[in-house]
Chains A and B, each alone.
Chain A
Amino acid sequence: MARRKGRRYKWTILPMVSVPILFLVVPIIFFQVYFSLHQWTAYLGEWWQADFVGLDNFRDVLGESRFYLSFLRSLIFAGSSTVLCLVIGFTLAYLMRDPFPGRSVFYLLFITPMLIVPVAIGYDFEMLLVQKGPLNQLLSWLAGREIQVAWFAEAVPAFVSIIFIEVWNWTPFVFILMLAGITSMPKEPIEAARVLGASPVQIFFHVQIPLLRPVIVLALILRFLEALGEYPKVWSLTRGGPGSYTETMPVYLFITSWEHFNISKGAAMSYVVLLVVAAIVYLCIRLLVREKRTLEMLYGR
């Protein structure tokens, strides 16, 4: 009886699911497919009159060095910022795992960067990192000699700067996830290890880290995907420059679709990106499932 009720209940959510699918997902997918297979440049006529070009747009995208370079930059940007976010976020969360006086103040301070609008972060850091700005002044004071790094005007400093700003912005997110994971860890395995004579370092690496692995993997996946799509800070800070050293995938996608108004190429490009990201997500999900199974084997359900 209860099972039958459950089935009936499932049907009640059908309208709520089907309406967005019908009116949002389907049209978007249809238009994306349509645009990627037709040549439509927004100022050259109506989209329904665009010529069918088959896979030409995909060939264009895949034969273009600018696309590969921007994608590579995005991967480096997302990969390095994710790892740094994890290391810093985990450290902060680990330090905050036990209650202490003023913990809530620290908590509030740590999560503040995540609450600021990305464009505002861009402008704030532009002022902080200008050649004669506060950061260089601080570094000069610490070093005892004049330091004049042009943070956004040279290739490596510019790329490092945008990674650093991304880390500053999104470490709080990893911090929150890791803190939730650490505080909800079961106490029994840790107690058992301690009783068996394990040192704190051994407990950390052999008990706590394995227990936290699903949370770590989840944080890595979410952060990586978010960083791969980062646009507002890079655009407001460097607009892809100097030269094209910071032209990441989202920046190039924006330029293609909304400066070149080459909607078809933009659609094809976004499909290529989607496929790569889907492959990454698939691998990550497999990893998560494996982690879950390992944990279940170790500690039961």
Chain B
Amino acid sequence: MKRWREDRREIDRRAFLKTAGAVGAVAAAQRYPHLGVAWGASKVSGETPEERAINGAKALKKKVDLNIAIWGQYYNGKMRELAEEFKEKTGIGIGTAVDIAIFQMPQRVMAEAVARGKAFDIVHVSAAMIPTLANAGFLQPLNKFMERGGMIYRSVGPAVQQTHYHGENYGFVTDGNILATALRKDLFENPEERKRFEDKHGKPLKWPETWDDYFELAKFFTRPPDLYGVSDLRSRKWSAPIWFLMMLYANGGFPFADDMTPTLYNDAGRKAMEWYVSARPSSAKEISIWGTTQNIPFVAGGGAFMWTYWTGAFGVANRADSKTTGRWMYGVVPGSRASGRLIKRSISEPVVSLVINRRGQNPEAAYWLSQYWSTPKHSADIVADPKLQFHDAWAPEHMTDERIVKKYTSQGIEATEKCLEITTPPILLPGFLEFHDYLDKNLADAFVGTISGDEALKKTEGEWRDLIKRVGAKVLTKDLANYKAAFPKIDLPTKA
């Protein structure tokens, strides 16, 4: 397998077909020069990317009912309306939407990739799966389509880098899923609480700048069973490793050396683990098993003082039916001074994106619809839709859209924007789920006390070493550059 991956000089079936295809295309271009007009570098006409998506789809002169795999929580409201609108205008739309929850989507799409299936034309999946899916030969590269469609695709900070792999874009983000911090304003600004804190700690109560401050605050506000200091996820299969990674990155750590040697068991890793586990006494007991479906109602119901969470959830905690509406203040995630200066790192995962099956019935038709959904204007419409709580803001245009500012509150959108500036990816390598699973399991075991934090780090390193050996260190070393490209270049948000 490794040999297959590393020795690209061997002529395999795919290489042969590619060459044959290229020769065929040249021959066809000479024989039928008018085809070149449609497929050349010429851009599709239209003033806006939305118009160009429509014109591009119309030029296909086909009615296509596309099949999409997407979670019902996402495919609703404005997203569904836009698909219907696109179908009316172009004849291309959604035939079947298969409802698969976002955490089950990677397995389902990999099954399709392995079977070389055509069941789905578009899949809505975490961008962290893109390196894996691209290696599995499932994904349609989008650069050429984007060039023709004059697509405008940008995020605040490096979030959209997660849909890129070796210079090629493979998807469009619809859900930025950035983490920011929120805490209870009514308690934070309460003069009695402030005095009590100052008396106890000999310093004024302030927004947590570091994770040390964060857990100090969490400890102070833990008053069980009515109030817990913090409510960040710590259970398996709910992306708990992202909280650890965010802390590791802030410490100046990175999971791998340049030769792909795992580098978790070091000062940065140990400090991150210490913080990760220290949430336990300040959290509800069930946090070790909760997913977001349990956590959001708990926090919205006033169960916790503080959380660092996906910004979309802040809107839920602020809804009219929430017990804590209007009692929240938002800000940038805490950071670390472990490297000698203050570094703040947020994380975006799952950056849920529309990707296209290259074996689907009509990848170009699927592309035009995806472009139509993902333009700055339409992505803002989707994020702004009050019915949709799962598409979180990510693009610059979202930060100034009045409807979105109203949905997030101005402080909430400011926190979102700042966190996006310093956002980081999860382990953006082929085998993402396996890397995460080992870390996830060992973090969970450390959190409940089955093993120590040090053991968890060492165990993860060992398991990662085996995985790296299997995938091939040379291949992964090349992919490290792609992983690192999704990191911010600044220590702190530029906005004051």
Contacts and interface: CB of A to CB of B under 8 A. Distances in A.
B306 interface: no
A42 interface: yes
A295 B286 CA distance: 52
Question: Chain A: interface residue count, which band?
Answer: 35 or more
A80 interface: no
Question: Chain B: interface residue count, which band?
Answer: 35 or more
Contact of A241 (B4, B289, B431, B433): B289
Interface in A31-45: 39-45
B285 A131 contact: yes
Given A153-B286, A241-B288, A259-B433, A42 B113 contact: yes
A42 B114 contact: yes
B478 interface: no
A255 interface: yes
Interface in B274-313: 284-289, 294
Given A39-B470, A242-B444, A259-B107, A49 B1 contact: yes
A150 interface: yes
B133 interface: yes
B261 interface: no
Interface string A123-141: 0000000110000000000
B113 A148 contact: no
B285 A43 contact: no
Contacts of A91: none
A172 interface: no
B258 interface: no
A42 B110 contact: yes
Given A259-B437, A262-B434, A242 B448 contact: yes
A193 interface: no
B28 interface: no
Contact of B431 (A43, A47, A155, A239): A43
A260 interface: yes
Contact of A150 (B3, B285, B450): B285
A74 interface: no
Given A50-B1, A150-B286, 10 more contacts: A42-B113, A44-B4, A131-B284, A153-B285, A240-B236, A241-B448, A243-B445, A244-B236, A244-B441, A255-B437
Interface of A: 39-45, 47, 49-51, 130-131, 148, 150, 152-155, 158, 238-245, 247, 255, 258-262
21 contacts: A39-B470, A41-B1, A43-B133, A43-B430, A43-B431, A44-B1, A45-B4, A130-B286, A155-B450, A240-B236, A241-B235, A241-B289, A241-B444, A243-B448, A244-B236, A244-B444, A244-B450, A255-B437, A258-B111, A259-B106, A261-B434
